[in-house]
Structure 1
C-alpha cells in the first residue's frame, strides 16, 4: 500500500515561499517521494543488482568466447611431404589470421594409423590425397575454418609443385592477382557487432520503459484504489502530482539505463571490439538523450493508464496500448535495416533506438539526430498536454474502468 505523501498543512510548511497557496513546488516533493520509494523498494534493488550481474556475466562470457582458441590436430602420413607441408602452411595461416584457431600436425606411419588416430580421438581430421585431388576426413563434418585453411594451404602447395614442373614460379603465375582490402572507416563496427549493439540498445529501451512505466501506473492506481489520492488532491494540484510522478520515474529510468550502459561500455573496452568504443560511446550518449525525452511521453501515458483503472486488476487492460507500443519498438528497431531503419529513426518513440543505431553505423549525418530529437520533443510535449488533461479527468472517477474519451471529456 502506498504511504501518504503529506497533509495540506505539512505541504504548505514545506513549500513555504513557493507560492501563495504553498503548492507551487509540490511537484518536487512528489518526485522525491517517487524516487525514494522506488530506491528503497527491496524488489527493485534486487532486480537492479541481478540485472547488472547478468550483464557483466554475459559480457565476460562473450569476451572469453571471442578470445578462446580452438586447437585441431591434423593427421597425415609422414611419408607424404605435400600433406606435411600443407598442414604446416595452414598452421601459419591460422596464426596470421588470428581466427581463434590453431592447427597442430600429427604425423603417423600410414593411412591405417591415421584412421586409428581419428577413431581414437588423437586427431580431429585426417588429410590425404585422393583419386582426384585431396580429401579431408573427420568423424563428422570437418570444421569450416579448418577446411578453409587446409584447402588454401593445399592449393598453394599443389600450385607451387605444378609451377615448378612447368618451369615457372607461383609468383609469375599469380602476378597481378593479389587482392588487398581497406576500410574507409577503420573504427566502424562489423555487421555482427552492430546487430548485437542494436539489440542491446533496444533491450535498454524495453527494460527501462516497461519497468519504470509500470511503476508509475501501479503507483497511481494504488493511490486511487485506496482513496489516498483524495487526500493528496487537497494538498497537491493534480497537474503537479502528475509532473512529480513523471519526473521521479524518469530519473529512475534514466539512472538505471546509465548504470547498464556503463557496465556495457566497460565490457566493450575489455573485448576485441574495443576499437569501436568511441563510436559506441557517441551512440550511447544520443540514446540516453533520446530516452530521457521519449520517456517523458511514455511516463505520462502510463500515468493515465493508472488513472483510467479503478482497481489494480484493471491495469493490465488500460496499460496494454503502451505495452504494445514498447514491445513494437523493441522488436522492430533491432531487426530493421536499410530504408526501413531510416524511416523509423524519424518516428517518435521508435527513434529512441533507431537513430542511435544509425549514428553507431555511421549512416546518419550530423544534423539528422538533431532533427529527429526535435520531432521527439514535439511529440513528448503533445503527449504531456493530452495526458495531463486525461489524468485530471480520470483520476477522481471510480466505479470501473474509464475510457480515454470519458477522461478527456471530464473537467476538473
Structure 2
C-alpha cells in the first residue's frame, strides 16, 4: 500500500529535478556570461546616479560665498546667514580688517556697519540676500536693545510658514518622487525586456541546432520551457534586487529617502513582486512564440507584439509620471499588461487607492495564468517543428 505513494513522490522529485537542471544550466550559461555582468554593473551605476540626481541638482555647500563680518550687528547677521545657508563666514574685530580681507581676496564680500565691501559689483542675488540678512540682523539688535529676551526675539523673527494644501488627492510635484518613479519604470522595462529576448532567442537557438530533439528524449517540453523561464528569472531577479538595493541605499546615503513621500520605499520593494508576475506573463509567451520559428533572423517578427506591448507599457508609465491622477493613468495602471510597469511607477509618486492596487494585481495574475497556458501549449506543439514560420492558429491546431 505504501509503494504507490513512494513511487509518486519519486516521480514528482524526478520531474522537479529535470526542471531545476534546465534552470541551473541557464543560470550558468547566461548569468555568468561577461555581457550580463558588464550590463549589471553599468545598469547599477545608472540607477545610483539617477537616485542621487535630486541631490546633485539641488547642489550643496560647494562654492559657498566667502563673507566677512564686522561691526555692531556682526553676531546677529552671522546667525541670519547661517540660517540661510551657502555662506562661509569669517568674523573680524574691526571694519578695517574686514575691508582688507576683501582687498586681499581672503573673502569675496564683507559687511560691516551697514556697508557692503566688494572688489567688483556683487551679484544681484547675493546682494539681495545680504541686504535681507542685514535688515533682519538690525531688527534683532533693535529688539534686544528694547529689552526683549532671546526667546521673544526668536519668536518675533520666526513667523509661521505657509501651510501647503494640495487639492488633488495624492498629487505631488516632488522632484525626488518623480525621479523615484522614473527609476522604477526604467528598471521594470529593462528587467523585462532582457529576459524576454533571451528566452525567445534560446528557444530558437535550441531548435535550429536540433539540441532540443536530444533534450526532449529525457525531459518534458514544460520542463524545458519552465526551466528556461526560471533560470533567466533568477538571473534577472538578482539584477533587480541589486538595482533596488543600490537605489534605496544611495537615496538613504544622500538623505533623499527621508524626503520621499510616505510609502515610496515599500513601493520600490513591491516592484519585485510586480516584476515576478510580469515575467511569467511575458516570459512564457516569449518561449511560446519563439518556438514558432526555426531561425534567429525570424525571431524578431514573432517577438514584435511582445516588444511593442512592453514599450507601450513603459511609455504609459512615463505619462503617469506627469499625470498620475488622470483617468488615463488610472486605467493604464489597472489593465494588463500595461499595469505591470505603470502601477508600481504610479505607486511611487502618488497615493493609489487600495481597490485599484488589488484589482490590478488580480487582473495581472489572471493574465499571467492565461499567458502561461497559451505559451506552454505553443511551445509543446511547435518546438519540434522545423521549416518555415508557423502561424499562431496553425500551431494551436497541431497535435500535442
| Range into which the TM-score falls when normalised by the shorter chain | 0.7 to 0.9
Q: Is the 8 A contact 2:188 2:341 kept in 1?
A: yes
In the alignment, structure 1 segments of 5+ residues that lack a partner are 1-14, 130-137, 161-170
Count of aligned positions: 369
Q: Which residue of 2 aligns with 1:96?
A: 83
Q: Which residue of 1 aligns with 2:267?
A: 283
C-alpha distance in 2, partners of 1:255/1:284?
Answer: 15
C-alpha distance in 2, partners of 1:276/1:377?
Answer: 33
User: 1:10-409 maps to which residues of 2 (within 5 A)?
Assistant: 17-18=10-11, 23=15, 26-56=18-48, 59=51, 63=55, 66=58, 68-70=60-62, 71-72=64-65, 93=80, 95-97=82-84, 101-102=86-87, 146=126, 149=129, 152-153=132-133, 178-182=159-163, 191-276=174-259, 279-336=263-320, 337-339=324-326, 340-409=328-397
C-alpha distance in 2, partners of 1:33/1:392?
Answer: 20
Name the SS for the 1:43 alignment partner. Answer: helix
Deviations 1:204-249 (A, max 9, x none): 1012111111211111111011111122223222233222222222
C-alpha distance in 2, partners of 1:401/1:123?
Answer: 74
- State which drifts further: 35-44 or 275-284: 275-284
Q: Shift in Å at residue 62 of structure 1?
A: 6.0
Change (3 A) 1:140 1:409: farther
C-alpha distance in 2, partners of 1:140/1:405?
Answer: 76
Q: Is the 8 A contact 2:229 2:284 kept in 1?
A: yes
Change (3 A) 1:23 1:287: closer
RMSD: 4.7
Q: Shift in Å at residue 91 of structure 1?
A: 6.9
Q: Shift in Å at residue 319 of structure 1?
A: 1.7
Q: Which residue of 2 aligns with 1:8?
A: none
C-alpha distance in 1, partners of 2:122/2:194?
Answer: 47
C-alpha distance in 2, partners of 1:326/1:147?
Answer: 52
When normalised by structure 2's length, the TM-score is 0.72
Q: Shift in Å at residue 400 of structure 1?
A: 3.0
Q: Shift in Å at residue 156 of structure 1?
A: 6.3
Q: Is the 8 A contact 1:301 1:383 kept in 2?
A: yes
